[in-house]
Amino acid sequence: MKCTVCRGPAVIDLRRHNANFCPEHFLRFCRDQVVRAIDDHGMMAPGQRVLVAVSGGKDSLALWDLLVELGYDAEGMVIGLGIGDYSDASTAAAVAFAEQRGLRLHRIDLRGEYGYDIPTASAVTRRVPCSSCGMSKRHLIDKAALDGGYDVVATGHNLDDEAAVLLGNVLHWQTEYLGRQEPVLAERPGFPRKVKPLVRLAERETAAYCVLRGIDYMVEECPMAAGNRHLRYKAALDEIEAASPGTKHAFYFEFLARAADRFRPEAAAAQEGLTPCTSCGAPTTGEVCAFCRLVERVGGREPVPVELVRPGRRRGKARKAGAAT
Q: Is 118 in the site for ligand FES (CB under 6 A)?
A: yes
The Cα–Cα gap between 11 and 20 comes to 7
Q: How far is the CB of 53 from ligand AMP (least distance, A)?
A: 3
Residue 205 identity: E
Contact letters (x/-) for ligand FES, 139-178, by CB under 6 A?
Answer: ----------------------------------------
How many Cα atoms are found within 13 Å in the side-chain-facing hemisphere of 93?
A: 23
Alpha helices per DSSP H over 195-314: 203-213, 229-243, 247-258, 260-271, 290-298
The residue range among 29-37, 96-104, 125-133, 153-161 that interacts with ligand FES, by the rule CB under 6 A, is 125-133
DSSP strand E in 10-165: where? Answer: 12-14, 19-21, 49-53, 73-80, 105-109, 152-154
The 8-class DSSP code of residue 33 comes to H
Residues 99-158 within binding reach of Zn ion (CB under 5 A): none
6 binds, among ligand AMP, Zn ion, ligand FES, none (CB under 5 to 8 A by kind): Zn ion
Those residues whose C-beta lies under 8 Å from the C-beta of residue 232, and which sit 6 or more positions away, are none
Q: How many residues does the chain have?
A: 325
Q: Is 133 in the site for ligand FES (CB under 6 A)?
A: yes
Q: For ligand FES, which residue of 224, 237, 306, 324 counts as binding (CB under 6 A)? A: 224
Q: Is 50 in the site for ligand FES (CB under 6 A)?
A: no
Q: How far is the CB of 228 from ligand AMP (least distance, A)?
A: 11
Burial class (CB in 10 A: 0-12, 13-18, 19+), 169: buried
Residues 31-60 within binding reach of ligand AMP (CB under 6 A): 53-55, 59-60
Q: Is 130 in the site for ligand FES (CB under 6 A)?
A: yes
- Of 318, 311, 316, give the one whose Cα is nearest residue 124: 316
The size of the interface with ligand FES (CB under 6 A), counted in residues, is 9
State the residues that interact with Zn ion by CB under 5 A.
3, 5-6, 8, 22, 25, 277, 279-280, 282, 289, 292
State the residues that interact with ligand AMP by CB under 6 A.
53-55, 59-60, 77-79, 81, 137, 155-157, 161
